[in-house]
Amino acid sequence: MLTIKNLHVEVDGKAILKGIDLEVHAGEVHAIMGPNGSGKSTLSNVLAGRDGYTVTQGDVLYQGDNLLQYEPDERACRGVFLAFQYPVEIPGVNNVYFLKAAVNAIRQYQGKEELDAMDFMALMKQKMTLVKMDNTLLKRSVNEGFSGGEKKRNEILQMAMLDPKLAILDETDSGLDIDALRIVAEGVNQLRHSQRSIVMVTHYQRLLSYIVPDYVHVLSEGQIVKSGDKNLALELEEKGYGWITEEVA
């Protein structure tokens, strides 16, 4: 699904990622953990194609194809989804309208027929139960005035609607209380699928107790310094990141 080879990325001339290698197969869930400033968000943003990140070296293959050649909207249409750490508010744009535009843009790109209003709403109703989304949120503008938990649920609802092949969850647990975290995690778990890969970027282990990863990677100073299974996350929780960085040094 996703192969990252020796990826080097600069931001404003400063090297942030210094040779990342990662292989994610279909159906797998990978957690990328690391202290602040280790390059976790940079990795998410580069995969999604955000402006301001310069790839100086290395390759990213997605479904065997060079991912970096595509514009951000094309990547989305090809099945790459990023759940934002800070979902953006768009005043005056209705949440449902936005989602319908997104769903149909992607369907169009993939050569599928656009969904009409009836089919769309039916699908929407079904997916909303995944994240226990309240109907009233549909009438509001995209993320405007949403609480932290509502925003993150909205992200997962979008993920459910857009049906991506590769989902990158950037600090999805940040700003969530324990109940909201559980709802969001359950939503994600129901979206786990043999044909879908999930890359979770997180600072804390707690998300991983709810969404149990197949692999855990530790990112430090722009490199993956240790990989393992879910037990690695537990070890990190216990000992902190200092242990790893010292061990590597």
Partner 1 sequence: MPDTATEVASLVDKDYEHGFVTDIEADTVPPGLNEDVIRLISQKKNEPDFMLEWRLKAYRHWLTLQPPHWAHINFPEIDYQAISYYSAPKSDKERPKSLEEVDPKLLETYEKLGIPLEEQKMLAGVAVDAVFDSVSVATTFKDKLAKEGVIFCAFSEALQTHPELVKQYLGSVVPMTDNYFATLNSAVFSDGSFVYIPKGVRCPMELSTYFRINASHTGQFERTLIVAEEGSYVSYLEGCTAPRRDENQLHAAVVELVALDNAQIKYSTVQNWYPGDENGQGGIYNFVTKRGDCRGHHAKISWTQVETGSAITWKYPSCVLTGDHSVGEFYSVALTHHHQQADTGTKMVHLGKHTTSTIISKGISAGQGQNAYRGLVRIAKQADNARNYTQCDSLLMGSRCGAHTFPSVEVKNPTATLEHEASTSKISDDQLFYCLQRGISEEDAVSMIVNGFCKEIFKELPMEFAVEAQKLLDMSLEGAVG
Q: How many residues sit close enough to partner 1 to count as binding (CB under 8 A)?
A: 35
- Residue 73 or residue 134: which is nearer to partner 1 going by CB? 73
- The count of other CB atoms within 10 Å of the CB of residue 3 is 16
Among 23, 59, 65, 73, binds partner 1 (CB under 8 A): 73
Specify which residues 81 forms β-bridges with. Answer: 167
Specify which residues 193 forms β-bridges with. Answer: 196
Specify which residues 83 forms β-bridges with. Answer: 169
Distance CA 41, CA 248 (A): 22
- Residue 97 or residue 126: which is nearer to partner 1 going by CB? 97
Q: How far is CA 247 from the centre of its chain?
A: 29
Among 29, 162, 185, 219, binds partner 1 (CB under 8 A): 162
Smallest distance, partner 1 to C-beta of residue 133, A = 17
Smallest distance, partner 1 to C-beta of residue 20, A = 18
Amino acid letter for position 108: Q
| Strand pairing class (90-94; 65-66) | unpaired
Among 5, 10, 19, 109, binds partner 1 (CB under 8 A): 109
Assess 91 for contact with partner 1 (CB under 8 A): yes
Distance CA 50, CA 180 (A): 28
- Residue 24 or residue 168: which is nearer to partner 1 going by CB? 168
Residues in the chain: 249
- The 25-64 contact track toward partner 1, x by CB under 8 A, reads -----------------------xxxxxxx----------
- Residue 91 or residue 111: which is nearer to partner 1 going by CB? 91
- Residue 51 or residue 238: which is nearer to partner 1 going by CB? 51
Residues of this chain, 184-203, that bind partner 1 according to CB under 8 A: none
Residue 165's nearest CA partner among 67, 236, 95 is 67
Among 62, 81, 146, 215, binds partner 1 (CB under 8 A): 81
Identify the three-state secondary structure at position 189.
helix
Among 11, 61, 102, 234, binds partner 1 (CB under 8 A): 102
What are φ and ψ of residue 23, in 5° steps?
-125, 120
